[in-house]
Amino acid sequence: MAEALQDAGSIVLGPIPTVDKAIKKIESEPHIDGAVVDVNLGGMLAYPVADLLIARKIPFVFTSGYEDNLLRDRYSQVKNCAKPLSVLGAGGSAGRGHVALMTTQALKR
């Protein structure tokens, strides 16, 4: 996915495989234009990451392989892209420029 986003003109920061690392990256990087956030980051739910992105007004989309009522209720304003993810759809939603790509894919390599 990172390569496809780069091909679309984005600068990809990541993939970032854990909630803690994602929060640290978001707090340390002043220029994040958008994010793609896997709901499951290293076995933990990514809700703290989503809350920080919302607080910083950074647009993002979730990716998830399952339905989650909490996503619909708590994050109704955030698009949830079901896996397998359409990279072009995610790239358009997350915007161009710097993209924080947070996914569990790095753990599977």
Contact 75, 63 (CB under 8 A): no
Backbone phi and psi for residue 84, each to the nearest 5 degrees, phi listed first: -70, 140
Cα–Cα distance measured from residue 109 to residue 93, given in angstroms and rounded to the nearest whole number: 26
CATH number assigned to the domain covering 2-108: 3.40.50.2300
Cβ atoms within 10 Å, residue 7: 10
Q: Give the pLDDT band of residue 56 (cuts 50, 70, 90).
A: very high
Q: What is the mean pLDDT of residues 31-60?
A: 89
pTM to 2 decimal places? 0.74
Q: Give the pLDDT band of residue 50 (cuts 50, 70, 90).
A: very high
In DSSP terms, which residues pair with 12 in a beta bridge?
Answer: 99
Helices (H) and strands (E) in the chain, counts: 6, 7
pLDDT over 80 at 2, yes or no: no
pLDDT over 80 at 25, yes or no: yes
Predicted local distance difference test score (pLDDT) of residue 24: 93
